[in-house]
Structure 1
Amino acid sequence: MKKAFYFLAVFFLLASCEDDKISPGNINPSLENTKAIEVTPPATIVLKGKDLDAATEVLLNNRPLTIVSKTESELEVQVPSGAFSGTAVVKFPDPDISLRKYIKVIDANVTTKDLPLSHLMKVDFLGGGNVLKYGGDGIVYRSTDGSTNWQSIYESVHVSPNVPFKAYDASHIWVLLGGAKQMAITQNGGETWKEITTLPDHIINDLFFLSLEKVVVTTIDLNTGSGAIYTTNDGGQKWTKAYESSSAIVSNLKLAYSGGNSMYLASPGGRLMLKTTDGGNTWSESPLLVNLGTPKTGSPISFISEQVGWAYNQPGLKSDEPGIYKTTNGGASWFPVAKPELDYDELISAVRFWSDNVGVAVTTKGGYMQTDDGGVSWKLYYMPGTNPQLLDLDQDNLYFYSDKLLIKAIR
C-alpha cells in the first residue's frame, strides 16, 4: 500500500513539474531583437528567442503557418507559396502572451536585367519596347527593344537633374533644361529636336501633359523667386501664365489626376490641391486634407475621376491615423479604407489606381502592395536587392532599380 502511494506521489510530482514547464504563468517568451526576416516562399524561417517551445500557433496575416520544429530557443515555421508580407504573430497557451515579428516576402516572380549606370535618375517605359533613361551624365538614352540596347538621343550639360525629361509617347519627348534654353522637344523619337526659349528668366520645375498640344509647366521666376504655372496650347510655341504663388507651392507638385480638360496637382509643401477644368487656362486652390509628407519620387495620391481618389496619409502633422484614405467628392473630405502593416519606419511613397477596385502602392523600402477591392485589403511583396528604388509603373508592371539591375515585377 505504501509502495503504491509512493509511486502515485511521484507520478503527480512529475506531472506537476511538466505542467510548470509549459504553464503560462512560468514562461517569459521573447524574440531576438533583429530586423525583419526576408523569405522567398515556399521556404522555412527560424525565429530565435526564449521559451519558444511553448508556442502553440504562428499566424501570418491571420493565416496559420505550419510549425516544423520548436526548441526552447528556436521556432521553425513553413511559409507557403501565396503568402505575402506582414507581421507574424506567435501565440502561447496564455491568450495574453504573444510575440510579433515582421516578415518580408520577396517576390520570386521578377525578371532582372543589367542597367549599368552609376547614378540612375529617371526611366520611363513607354510601351512597345520603347524605354527612356537618364543617368545624370547629360545624356538622354532610348531603347527600342525593352532596355537591352541603348542609343543616345539628346545630350546637353544643362539637362535638369530633377526632371530630365517627360514623354507623351515614344515619339513626343520633352527634355527640360537649365540656362537660356528651357526645353528641347522632339516629335520623331529623338531624330530631330527643337529648342524652346520662350520662358526667359524662369527655371522649369516640372511638366505635365493634358494632351499632345496642351502642356503645363511649373516654374520659378529667377528675378522674384515666385512660383507659377504656364500653359501652352500649341506644343510650346506660346506660353500663358495661368497661376502664380509662392515657390514652395509649385516646387514639388504631384500629379493626382489628368483627364480631358481637367488636371489636379497636389502640393505637399503648400497643403493645397490645384485644379483646372478648362485645359489649364485657369486654376483653383482647395485645401489638401491628407498629409502626403515630402515624397521625392512617385505620387502618393491618385484620382480615377474628378470625384474619386485615394491617398496615403502619413503620420504626423494631422490627428488622423496614417493609412490609405479615399475621397468621393473631389477631395473635399476623406475617409480611411485601410491601414497596411508595414515594416518599422516604412512609409508609402506612391499610390496609383486605375479603376474603383484595382490599384497599387509602393513603399519606401522597396515593397509594393496590390489591391483588387478598392484599397480595403492589400497584398505586400518586396523586391530583391539592396534598397530597390521605384522607376516606373503601369497597370501590369512595376519597375525598380537596385545594384545596377533593372527589376521588373508583374502584377
Structure 2
Amino acid sequence: MKKKLFLYTAVIMFCASAIFYLINVNEKDKLENNSPEKRKDRDSEIKYPSDIEYFKRTFPYGQADPDAHLEALKKGQEMRSLAESDNSTPQWEFAGPANIGGRISDLEYDPNNSQIIYAGAATGGIFKSTNGGLNFFPVFDDNAVLPIGDIAVDPVNSNIIYAGTGEANGGHNNFAGGGIYKSTNGGTSWQITGLQNTVSIGRIIIDPFNPLKLYVAAVGSYFGPNPDRGIYRSDNGGANWTKILFISDSTGAIDIAVDPVNSNNLYAAMWQKTRYPNGGQLFGSTSGIYKSTNGGNNWTALGAANGLPNSSSTSVGRIGISISKSNPNILYSIFTNGTTYLGFFKTTNAGLNWTNADPNNQLQDGFSTFSWYFGQVRVHPTNPSIVYVLDFAIMKTTNSGTSWTDLTGFDIHVDNHALAFKPGAPETIIEGNDGGIYNSTNGGNSFTKVAELPITQFYEIGIDKTNPQRLYGGTQDNGTNRTTTGSVSDWESIYGGDGFYVIVDYTNPNVIYAESQNGGFGKSSDGGISFDDATAGINPSEKRNWSTPVVMDPNNSNVLYFGTNKVYRTTNAAANWTAISPDLTNGNQPRLGTVTTIDVSKTKSEHDNCRDR
C-alpha cells in the first residue's frame, strides 16, 4: 500500500518490515564495561540483533538457497579480483581499526608446535601466529566464505587444518558459512571439502588414533528447517561425508567430544533451534546429549534416567560438553533452556550417571538471559577437577564445580567463546571473546590482550566533513569508535553498547550524534568527550529496529529524522522530536515492524511516497 506523506522537508523512506519474535523482551543499552554494576544492568538485556537483513534477502519466501548464496559470494570474489587487476580502478586501503578487535569464534594451538596458533573470526576468516600469539596474519582471505565456526588441526601432520565455516553462536548476529575447508600446507591455501549446505558449524574433531577420520557437528540454518543438520563423519580426510546422527530438520549438533583413549566413544550435544522471519524458539524436546560406543554408527540419548534434564518436560536449549583427557570417564556439560542457565553436570562413569555439580546455580549470572550465546566448556588437560566455563565472564573451578572464580574482572572484554591450552604448558591459556584475543600464563589469574586483529564488525560509518581523516563507526559488540588522525592504530571508543549510526555535524564537528542498539541515541557537544540522551519527545513504547535509522538533513544540520514505527523530526538539533507520520507498519507487530531506512532529499521537494508492508 502506498501512502503519500506531505512533509516539511522531503524524506525518502524505504521502509517497513513486518517481522516479529516469539521472544519479546525489553533490552537495555549494553555497555561493554566489566564493573559489577554494569553486569547487573545487563542481566535484563538480550543480545538480539535484528533479523531484518535476513528478511530482506529472503522476501517473500522466508528461505535462502545456500547454493545461491555461495555462488553470489564467489561471483563477488571474482569481481573483486578483476577490479584489483584493473589499474584504472580506484584501489582500497585499510583504514582501521587495528587496535579495537572483534568477535573470536575459535582458537587452536598447533599440537606439535605451541608457537603456532590459529584464530577463527566471526566474519573475518582465519589468522595465524607463528610466535605464540605476539602477531597474527590472515591465511583465509582468498576464500569466498569468511565466517568461521570451528577449526581443527591434525594431531599427526599439523600442516593439515580443517575449518568449519558459519558461526554457531545462536544465529542472531551470525553469518552463514559454506561448508568445510581443508589446508594441507599450514593455511597457505584452502580447498572446500563438502557440507556446503550445513550453514553453521559448532565443532570439528579428529580421531586421535586415525587422523583421516573426522567428525563434524553441524548446527544448520539460522532460519527455518534444514535437513543438513546433525553429526557427520568422514573416513578419508574430508573427501567424503556420511551423516551419522540426524534427529530432525530443526535439531542441529552444537558440540561433540571424543574419548581420547577409546575413540569409538563419542558424545554429541544436540540443539533444537528454529527461527523464522515471523518467530522462532531456542529450545525443544529433542535437545540433549547422545552417546555412541561404535564410532557413530549407533547413538543412545542420555536423559532424565541418567540424571540430566528431561528435555520433554524441561525447555532444554544449547548444551556444551567437554571430556577430560587425563580421565575420559569424566565429562562436564552445560545445559541451558534457550534463554537462561539450567545447570552444570558431571559424570564420572562415561555418561551413565550425571549429577548437578552446581546445585546453587553459581553460574547463572554469567549466562543471564541470553544463554544461547554461550556454551563452551574446557577441562584442564591434566587435572580433571579444573574446568573453565565461558559465558559473559570466564568462570573457573578447581574442585569440579563446588566453587567458582570469575577470572575476568576489569582485564578482559565480555562475552567469551573460545579457549585453548598451550600444549605441554596448560597453565598458559589463550582466550577469545567479542573484543579479541587474550593470553594468560597463570591459569587465568591475569590476562593480557595480544595482537589486535582487523576484524571489527561495522554497521555504519561517519566522516567529519570538516576534516575527512576523522573517521567514526558503529560496531557490533564494541560500541562507537573513531580516529581523529586517520591512523589505523589509534581508534578509541566514545559511546557504549553495540554501535550503529554516527553523525558528525557538518557545520560544527564538536557536535556528534551516536546510536546504540534499539534506538539508544546520544548527543555530544564537546567533541565526543561526553554524551547526553537525545530522544526527548520520542515515544519509548514504540517499536525500534536493532539498527534504528537516523539521518541529518544535508541542508540544515539542526534538522534530523529518526525512525521507529513512525518517522520523527527535530528542528533544534535533537533538543526535542515530533512525530511527522502515522504508524507506517500496520501497527500489529509485537517487536519489529519498523522503519528501516530514511534518506533526505537534497532538492527539498515538498512530498514523497512511502511503501509499507
**TM-score computed with the length of structure 1 as normaliser:** 0.55
The alignment status of 1:377 with 2:416, answered yes or no, reads no
For residues 284 and 138 of structure 2, the distance between their equivalents in structure 1, rounded to whole angstroms, comes to 47
The alignment status of 1:278 with 2:349, answered yes or no, reads yes
For residues 313 and 133 of structure 1, the distance between their equivalents in structure 2, rounded to whole angstroms, comes to 23
Question: Which consecutive unaligned segments of at least 5 residues does structure 1 have?
Answer: 1-35, 40-106, 315-322, 389-411
Higher relative contact order (CA 8 A, sep 6+): 2
For residues 420 and 410 of structure 2, the distance between their equivalents in structure 1, rounded to whole angstroms, comes to 15
Q: Which amino acid aligns with 2:311?
A: S
| Residue 234 of structure 1: how far off its partner (Å) | 0.3
For residues 385 and 124 of structure 1, the distance between their equivalents in structure 2, rounded to whole angstroms, comes to 19
For residues 286 and 253 of structure 1, do their structure 2 counterparts lie closer, same or farther at Cα, with a shift above 3 Å needed?
Answer: same
CA contact (8 A) 1:271 1:289 kept: no
Question: How do 1:8-27 residues align onto structure 2 when only pairs under 5 Å count?
Answer: none
CA contact (8 A) 1:256 1:303 kept: no
What is the aligned counterpart of 2:386 among 286, 305, 308?
Answer: 308
For residues 245 and 391 of structure 2, the distance between their equivalents in structure 1, rounded to whole angstroms, comes to 39
Question: Which consecutive unaligned segments of at least 5 residues does structure 2 have?
Answer: 1-96, 101-132, 166-175, 221-225, 274-282, 305-309, 458-613
For residues 149 and 179 of structure 1, the distance between their equivalents in structure 2, rounded to whole angstroms, comes to 30
Q: Which amino acid aligns with 1:129?
A: N
Q: SS in structure 1 opposite 2:227?
A: coil
| Residue 249 of structure 1: how far off its partner (Å) | 6.7
Alignment match, 2:317? 251
Q: Which amino acid aligns with 1:185?
A: R
For residues 365 and 141 of structure 1, do their structure 2 counterparts lie closer, same or farther at Cα, with a shift above 3 Å needed?
Answer: same
For residues 198 and 378 of structure 1, the distance between their equivalents in structure 2, rounded to whole angstroms, comes to 40
After TM superposition, the structure 1 stretch with the greater mean CA deviation from structure 2, 347-356 or 142-151, is 347-356
What is the aligned counterpart of 1:225 among 271, 281, 285?
Answer: 285
| Residue 144 of structure 1: how far off its partner (Å) | 0.8
For residues 201 and 239 of structure 1, do their structure 2 counterparts lie closer, same or farther at Cα, with a shift above 3 Å needed?
Answer: farther
| Residue 38 of structure 1: how far off its partner (Å) | 4.4
What is the aligned counterpart of 1:194 among 242, 251, 255?
Answer: 242
Alignment match, 2:299? 239
| Residue 295 of structure 1: how far off its partner (Å) | 6.9
For residues 265 and 241 of structure 1, the distance between their equivalents in structure 2, rounded to whole angstroms, comes to 14
| Residue 209 of structure 1: how far off its partner (Å) | 2.1
For residues 270 and 226 of structure 1, do their structure 2 counterparts lie closer, same or farther at Cα, with a shift above 3 Å needed?
Answer: farther
For residues 263 and 146 of structure 1, do their structure 2 counterparts lie closer, same or farther at Cα, with a shift above 3 Å needed?
Answer: same
| Residue 220 of structure 1: how far off its partner (Å) | 5.0
Alignment match, 2:160? 130
Alignment match, 2:398? 328
Alignment match, 1:204? 252
For residues 195 and 403 of structure 2, the distance between their equivalents in structure 1, rounded to whole angstroms, comes to 46
For residues 371 and 277 of structure 1, the distance between their equivalents in structure 2, rounded to whole angstroms, comes to 29
For residues 386 and 186 of structure 1, do their structure 2 counterparts lie closer, same or farther at Cα, with a shift above 3 Å needed?
Answer: closer
CA contact (8 A) 2:329 2:351 kept: yes
Whichever structure has more strand as a proportion of its residues is: 1
Q: Which amino acid aligns with 2:200?
A: P
For residues 161 and 375 of structure 1, do their structure 2 counterparts lie closer, same or farther at Cα, with a shift above 3 Å needed?
Answer: closer
For residues 379 and 213 of structure 1, do their structure 2 counterparts lie closer, same or farther at Cα, with a shift above 3 Å needed?
Answer: same
| Residue 264 of structure 1: how far off its partner (Å) | 0.6
Q: SS in structure 2 opposite 1:292?
A: helix
Alignment match, 1:111? 137
Name the count of aligned residue pairs.
Answer: 274
For residues 189 and 284 of structure 1, do their structure 2 counterparts lie closer, same or farther at Cα, with a shift above 3 Å needed?
Answer: same
Q: SS in structure 1 opposite 2:334?
A: strand
For residues 241 and 110 of structure 1, do their structure 2 counterparts lie closer, same or farther at Cα, with a shift above 3 Å needed?
Answer: closer
For residues 292 and 195 of structure 1, the distance between their equivalents in structure 2, rounded to whole angstroms, comes to 34
For residues 237 and 150 of structure 1, do their structure 2 counterparts lie closer, same or farther at Cα, with a shift above 3 Å needed?
Answer: same
The alignment status of 1:357 with 2:436, answered yes or no, reads no
Cα deviations across residues 85-126 of structure 1 (Å, max 9, x unaligned)? xxxxxxxxxxxxxxxxxxxxxx86323334233442324141
For residues 225 and 143 of structure 1, do their structure 2 counterparts lie closer, same or farther at Cα, with a shift above 3 Å needed?
Answer: same
For residues 179 and 338 of structure 1, the distance between their equivalents in structure 2, rounded to whole angstroms, comes to 39
CA contact (8 A) 2:376 2:417 kept: yes
CA contact (8 A) 1:242 1:280 kept: yes
For residues 183 and 165 of structure 1, the distance between their equivalents in structure 2, rounded to whole angstroms, comes to 10
Cα deviations across residues 12-45 of structure 1 (Å, max 9, x unaligned)? xxxxxxxxxxxxxxxxxxxxxxxx9949xxxxxx
After TM superposition, the structure 1 stretch with the greater mean CA deviation from structure 2, 124-133 or 248-257, is 248-257
CA contact (8 A) 1:205 1:218 kept: yes
CA contact (8 A) 1:249 1:267 kept: no
Alignment match, 2:333? 265
Q: Indicate the structure (1 or 2) with the bigger Cα radius of gyration.
A: 1
Q: SS in structure 2 opposite 1:331?
A: coil
For residues 382 and 298 of structure 1, the distance between their equivalents in structure 2, rounded to whole angstroms, comes to 25
For residues 224 and 121 of structure 1, do their structure 2 counterparts lie closer, same or farther at Cα, with a shift above 3 Å needed?
Answer: closer
For residues 285 and 386 of structure 1, do their structure 2 counterparts lie closer, same or farther at Cα, with a shift above 3 Å needed?
Answer: same
Q: Which amino acid aligns with 1:112?
A: P
What is the aligned counterpart of 2:202 among 144, 163, 181?
Answer: 163
CA contact (8 A) 1:243 1:282 kept: no
For residues 408 and 249 of structure 2, the distance between their equivalents in structure 1, rounded to whole angstroms, comes to 45
For residues 338 and 180 of structure 1, the distance between their equivalents in structure 2, rounded to whole angstroms, comes to 37
CA contact (8 A) 1:198 1:237 kept: no
For residues 242 and 412 of structure 2, the distance between their equivalents in structure 1, rounded to whole angstroms, comes to 46
For residues 207 and 350 of structure 1, do their structure 2 counterparts lie closer, same or farther at Cα, with a shift above 3 Å needed?
Answer: closer
**TM-score computed with the length of structure 2 as normaliser:** 0.39
For residues 300 and 387 of structure 1, the distance between their equivalents in structure 2, rounded to whole angstroms, comes to 25
For residues 266 and 353 of structure 1, do their structure 2 counterparts lie closer, same or farther at Cα, with a shift above 3 Å needed?
Answer: farther
For residues 163 and 343 of structure 2, the distance between their equivalents in structure 1, rounded to whole angstroms, comes to 31
Q: Which amino acid aligns with 2:253?
A: N
The percent of aligned pairs where both chains have the same amino acid is 18
For residues 201 and 344 of structure 2, the distance between their equivalents in structure 1, rounded to whole angstroms, comes to 22
Cα deviations across residues 301-332 of structure 1 (Å, max 9, x unaligned)? 65443322345674xxxxxxxx6554222111
CA contact (8 A) 1:265 1:274 kept: yes
For residues 442 and 134 of structure 2, the distance between their equivalents in structure 1, rounded to whole angstroms, comes to 24
| Residue 165 of structure 1: how far off its partner (Å) | 4.7
Q: Which amino acid aligns with 2:385?
A: Q
For residues 356 and 162 of structure 1, the distance between their equivalents in structure 2, rounded to whole angstroms, comes to 26
